[in-house]
Amino acid sequence: MSGAVLDGKTVLLTGGTGSLGQCLVERILSRYRPGALVVFSRDEHKQWEMRRAFPPDKCPSLVFVIGDIRDAEALDRALAGVDVVVHAAALKHVPTGEVQPLEFIKTNILGAANLIASARAHGIDRVVALSTDKAVSPTSLYGATKMCADRLFISASEGLNGRRTRFSVVRLGNVIGSRGSVVPYFARSHRSGALTITDPRMTRFWVTLSQAADLVLSCLVEMRGGEIMVPKLPSMRVVDVARALAPDSALEITTMRRGERLHEVLISAEEACRAQEYADRFVILPSSYPGEINGRPCSEGFQYRSDCNDRWLSIEELQTLVGEFV
C-alpha cells in the first residue's frame, strides 16, 4: 500500500485510545513514517496505558492530546497543522443511547459537525469517518446518530470548488474483540456457566480489528471524497458465537433490548442503486463522484443483509479468529 498519504504527514485519530484506534496506531507506526501521529481522546487513563504500550523512546512520533470532539475550540487547536484525520470517536452502546439520547447526539452528531468545520478551516487533506451497520435504516438512537453523522460527512464532500477537504466513510459490522462487543462479553460471562441471548435467530456481520484497520488505511489511500466504503464480511448467528466461545455454558433466552434488531444491514435497497461492487468491498457513491468508476453496479433491489449473506463463519473459524478470548 502506498505510503505517500501518510509518510511525513501529521495524522490525527479521534477516539484513538479505543480498540480500533490502538490497532490503527500499531499499524501506522509499523508500516509508515508519519511526521506525527496524534491520539486525541478524552480519557486520561487510557492515554497513560497507551504510553506504556507505545513508549516515547520507541515511538517518538506519537503524541497524546486530551480533548473531546464536543469541544469545538479544543478540537480546532488539535487540528492545526494536521494533514489526515481518522474519526473513530463515538458513543456506541445501544441501550445507553436509548435512555440518554442527548449525550449521543452531542458526541456522534454535533462532534462530527465540529470536526467537519474545523477540518475545512484548516485545509486538512482527507478525513475518514468510521461508521456502523446500525446506521442503515436505524432502529436505535445510536444508529440514528451515526446515520446523521454519515450524511454530514458525505454532504461535506459535495458541491465544493477548488482545493477541498475530502471526506469519506467506512461502514463496519461488529468488530471482534473491540471494547463493549459481544465477543469479550461472552468470553467473560461463560465463567458463570450461563450466557444470555436475546433472540436465537439473531445474525450479525463480523470483522476483526486487523481487517477493520486495514480497510481504513486502504480507504485513506483510495478515497476521492463522498464515498461510503463497505467491506465484504461474513455473517454468523449470535447463538453460534456463544457456542464458539463457551460450548459448555447454558444459553438463557431473554427478550430483545430497546433499539436492537434481529439482523443487520450494510447496504439498503435504496442505497444499492448507487453502489458498485469490487472484489473485497462495495462502494456507495455520492450523487457526483470525482473518481473513476470501474466496479460492477449492484442490481436493483439488492440488499446486503447479515441473514441473506453468501459468506458465513463456522464455529471453528470464529474460534481461530478469537483464540485469545476462548
- DSSP bridge partners of 300: none
pLDDT band at 197 (very low <50, low <70, confident <90, very high): confident
- Does pLDDT of 236 surpass 70? yes
Q: Which residues on neighbouring strands pair with residue 196, listed in sequence order?
A: 252
> Residue 162 above 60 pLDDT?
no
Q: Is the pLDDT of residue 164 over 50?
A: yes
Band (326; pLDDT cuts 50, 70, 90): very low
Q: Is the pLDDT of residue 249 over 70?
A: yes
Q: 29-33, 74-78, 183-187, 311-315 — which is least confidently predicted?
A: 183-187
pLDDT at 265 over 80: yes
Whole-number Å distance between alpha carbons of 213 and 141: 26
pLDDT at position 240, please?
86
Give the separation between CA 326 and CA 324, rounded to whole angstroms.
Answer: 6
Q: Answer for the pair 84, 10: CB distance below 8 angstroms, yes or no.
A: yes
Q: Helices 111-122 & 72-79, crossing angle to 10 degrees?
A: 40
Q: What is the average per-residue pLDDT within 30-45?
A: 96
54 pLDDT higher than 60: yes
What's the confidence (pLDDT) of residue 116?
97
3-state secondary structure (DSSP) of residue 256? coil
Q: How many CB atoms lie within 10 A of CB 45?
A: 8
Per-residue pLDDT, 319: 80
Domains of the chain and CATH, by start: 10-325 (3.40.50.720)
What does the mean pLDDT of the chain come to? Answer: 89
Tens-digit pLDDT profile for residues 269-310: 999 999 999 999 999 999 877 777 889 999 988 999 999 999
> What single letter denotes the amino acid at residue 146?
K
DSSP element (H, E) containing 160: none
Least-confidence region, from 118-132, 199-213, 279-293: 279-293
Q: What is the pLDDT of residue 121?
A: 94
Cβ–Cβ under 8 Å, residues 267 and 298: yes
Higher pLDDT, 119 or 315: 119
pLDDT at 160 over 60: no
Query: What does pTM read for this prediction?
Result: 0.91
Could you give the CA distance from residue 82 to residue 73 in angstroms, rounded to a whole number?
15
Out of 9, 134, 146, 232, which one is annotated catalytic? 134
> Does the active-site annotation cover 232?
no
pLDDT value for 62: 97
**Residue among 116, 141, 143, 142 at smallest CA distance from 127:** 116
Rounded average pLDDT over 304-325: 83
Residue 15 pLDDT exceeds 90: yes
The radius of gyration of the chain's CA atoms, rounded to the nearest angstrom, is 19
Q: What does the alpha-carbon distance between residue 178 and residue 227 come to, in Å, rounded to a whole number?
A: 25
Residues 202-221 have a mean pLDDT of 92
pLDDT at 325 over 60: no
Q: Which residue has the higher pLDDT, 293 or 214?
A: 214
More confident residue, 135 or 164: 135
Give the whole-angstrom CA distance, residue 195 versus residue 197: 7
